[in-house]
Amino acid sequence: MDRICKLCKEPKLIDKFGTYRDPYNRIKPNGVCKLCKSHQQKVNRQKYGKVVVKHEIGIADPEELNFEDDPRAKDEIQYGRVSRKPTTLPSGGIAYD
């Protein structure tokens, strides 16, 4: 099934379009094909000066890695999992007054 892109005005297969959900929760294809949309986003990024940030892997300082625990934490005792008694109803059901 072909659909015409609103930007490039070329008929393309429907799988070349992204999808969205309308207010009635039906899945519908977008009006702009994926290629035109990605090109449009790239142009907007350059137009407004937005830059994609690339994360650099840096070497951590040894001073930051070596730290001492809180001295109060050495005296703490870890008891394990806390178990609480669940709320139980009488076996006869709920009594209404």
Fold observed for domain 1-53: Wheat Germ Agglutinin (Isolectin 2); domain 1 (3.30.60)
Q: In sequence order, what are the residues at sequence separation of 6 or more whose Cβ sits closer than 8 angstroms to the Cβ of residue 34?
A: 16, 17, 18
C-alpha angle 46/47/50, rounded to 5°? 55
- CB 34 within 8 Å of CB 17: yes
Q: Does the pLDDT of residue 96 top 70, yes or no?
A: no
| Confidence category of residue 82, pLDDT binned at 50, 70, 90 | low
pLDDT at res. 12: 92
In sequence order, what E strands does the chain have? 2-4, 11-13, 17-21, 27-33
Domain positions in the chain? 1-53
| Confidence category of residue 56, pLDDT binned at 50, 70, 90 | confident
Which residues does residue 27 pair with via DSSP β-bridges, in sequence order? Answer: 21
Supply the pTM of this predicted model. 0.45
